[in-house]
Structure 1
């Protein structure tokens, strides 16, 4: 029995994951050569195997469906002879972030796919990413490197919201309602991801010789730092401990590791993830001041991401996703002939 043709959703997910896996594959190959801790190296190797298998499986789908395989990224985008740029702690945090992103992405991919073989592919990868994330957190806990979310006092009983002041109290600088657990969750996670983003931008700015791109990453570093400081402030205002990753950083190497194309693309992925995180946090927050902050920061990230896309476009580094047929153009073309 012939398989149904792939839906636009399936093609879009397969294409997106192939591009991102191709990029991550190059990054992990470099990490494998520079990581020093054996336990973290095991996680890097496990991640690399997972990425390579997913990439190979998607290639097989593309070939069987007669779809063009994206150029994506190759060994030309990495200098495997470069000295160590990021610390082992950052590498561990990168894999943790990769695990979180993977479980989110492949959960959506599975939910939006129709064909059984494509659902099966995404389901398998989702389980593998979940396993990787769990193992990464276990290693981080064992080494005392895992940054735990803040704790709060457990409530004694169920309480109900009384009046609109619960939502608007954050607008009063002299009497702000303390943060609830859901708000703390999002503030902490966004603080953590911006702390990582700051480090990555620092390393990229340190190793590119393109002035425009260097300035772009320096701006990203400043933006991440500003956002992290705001989240830290909002947590401490409610007397909530706001831990940040320690001893996570960049070495003093200035040798280029990654191509400008790869670095810009990774930053575009991180920016898109950041916008998604802020959108989720905005809808989950119940204090108007938090909602306002997230909406404002989302605009800042969107404008910053646009600058990055402009550079990618100018250098012809952006591949076009598979497109639907432009019927109007076909009709116009047919009329002319």
Structure 2
């Protein structure tokens, strides 16, 4: 049997379905950004837009060849063309930088869960494109003086091993307890950076939401991002390191929604899931007991926020159901 004639697995179907949701969403977000962009900035946005459209077409082709229904995802009805600019001063590139970082992680995971060669190749291509675009946006934002680099450190001159259990203790002022190591700093920096971008996104979404329940939920998301930044930023300050910050990428005063509430909630849900994963990673790789403890508390807040978002999506009929495994229990009744 030809490799591509082997039926796709449940995990491959699930990942194609999730990729379709994310890809169609990013196309709608980029539609608004491109409408208000110019020059090199517009070229980068168009490049990701066009490549995402090609990726969606490939997903549809595989699903159709398997006799599977094409998901609805997000359509032109989820973006309102002609709406005033919602974000200013390179936020579109800051957002693309964050989303391609998310995509790189997501599609690399999907590739590792693929067994049929054409699907594995597909997700590897998705990953490569997202990584390339993330590098492009990184260099662009650095050149514009917008992206804050992680702190520089003195290079180690020798290999050392931990000899004292005190290494795992949290920070205490005027004690011998250690400061953060570079692994911990890198994970905290990453989490703060993404939450600063997410906070501006929540502000823009909240001020254009048309229903009170969605507006209040997005305001909670804004406050949660701020809480995470403040709590984790304090760990950096205790080690005399300033948390990342940027003067760019602010929300305009527009109250006209460029996106549907369904799209805004899905984008929020996607970033919340990403935040839970980053939080778990940060806690797992830290050997200072106070950092995982703080991240566990924050994870509880993130999970509660995510669950509430799911409830709103379901209540309004906005949550598209993933492909379902056949219920074998029905055969016994």
Q: Which region of structure 1 is more displaced relative to structure 2, 24-33 or 238-247?
A: 238-247
Cα deviations by residue, 1:271-319 (Å, 9 ceiling, x for unpaired): 0000000000010111000000111111100000111100001011111
User: Aligned equivalents of 1:182 and 1:246: distance in 2?
Assistant: 26
List aligned pairs for 1:210-221, cutoff 5 A. Answer: 210-221=211-222
User: Aligned equivalents of 1:77 and 1:106: distance in 2?
Assistant: 24
Q: Post-superposition shift, 1:174?
A: 5.0
User: Aligned equivalents of 1:219 and 1:130: distance in 2?
Assistant: 31
1:26 alignment counterpart: 28
Check whether the contact 1:35–1:88 (CA below 8 A) recurs between aligned residues: no
Q: Post-superposition shift, 1:146?
A: 2.0
2:18 alignment counterpart: 16
1:69 alignment counterpart: 70
Q: Post-superposition shift, 1:173?
A: 5.3
Check whether the contact 1:202–1:218 (CA below 8 A) recurs between aligned residues: yes
User: Aligned equivalents of 1:165 and 1:18: distance in 2?
Assistant: 48
SS of 2:90's equivalent? helix
Cα deviations by residue, 1:230-264 (Å, 9 ceiling, x for unpaired): 12211011011322122221001111111111000
User: Aligned equivalents of 1:200 and 1:256: distance in 2?
Assistant: 13
1:322 alignment counterpart: 323
1:81 alignment counterpart: 82
2:169 maps to 1:168: yes
2:200 alignment counterpart: 199
List aligned pairs for 1:48-59, cutoff 5 A. Answer: 48-59=49-60
| TM-score, normalization by structure 2 | 0.96
User: Aligned equivalents of 1:134 and 1:209: distance in 2?
Assistant: 36
Q: Which region of structure 1 is more displaced relative to structure 2, 38-47 or 301-310?
A: 38-47
Q: Which region of structure 1 is more displaced relative to structure 2, 3-12 or 123-132?
A: 123-132
Q: Post-superposition shift, 1:156?
A: 2.1
| TM-score, normalization by structure 1 | 0.95
User: Aligned equivalents of 1:62 and 1:79: distance in 2?
Assistant: 28
Check whether the contact 2:148–2:244 (CA below 8 A) recurs between aligned residues: yes
Check whether the contact 2:192–2:244 (CA below 8 A) recurs between aligned residues: no
Check whether the contact 1:278–1:294 (CA below 8 A) recurs between aligned residues: yes
1:246 alignment counterpart: 247
List aligned pairs for 1:130-145, cutoff 5 A. Answer: 130-145=131-146
2:106 alignment counterpart: 105
1:117 alignment counterpart: 118
Q: Which region of structure 1 is more displaced relative to structure 2, 156-165 or 278-287?
A: 156-165
Check whether the contact 2:276–2:303 (CA below 8 A) recurs between aligned residues: yes
CA RMSD of aligned residues (A): 1.2
User: Aligned equivalents of 2:248 and 2:131: distance in 1?
Assistant: 26
1:267 alignment counterpart: 268
User: Aligned equivalents of 2:150 and 2:331: distance in 1?
Assistant: 55
User: Aligned equivalents of 1:143 and 1:271: distance in 2?
Assistant: 28
Q: Post-superposition shift, 1:99?
A: 1.5
SS of 1:71's equivalent? coil
Check whether the contact 1:192–1:245 (CA below 8 A) recurs between aligned residues: no
1:286 alignment counterpart: 287
Q: Post-superposition shift, 1:121?
A: 1.2
Unpaired runs of at least 5, structure 2: none
Unpaired runs of at least 5, structure 1: 333-337
* 1:82–1:115 CA distance, 2 compared to 1 (3 A): same
Deviating beyond 2 angstroms after TM superposition, the runs of 4 or more aligned structure 1 residues are 172-176
Check whether the contact 2:85–2:252 (CA below 8 A) recurs between aligned residues: yes
User: Aligned equivalents of 2:248 and 2:24: distance in 1?
Assistant: 29
Check whether the contact 1:150–1:242 (CA below 8 A) recurs between aligned residues: no
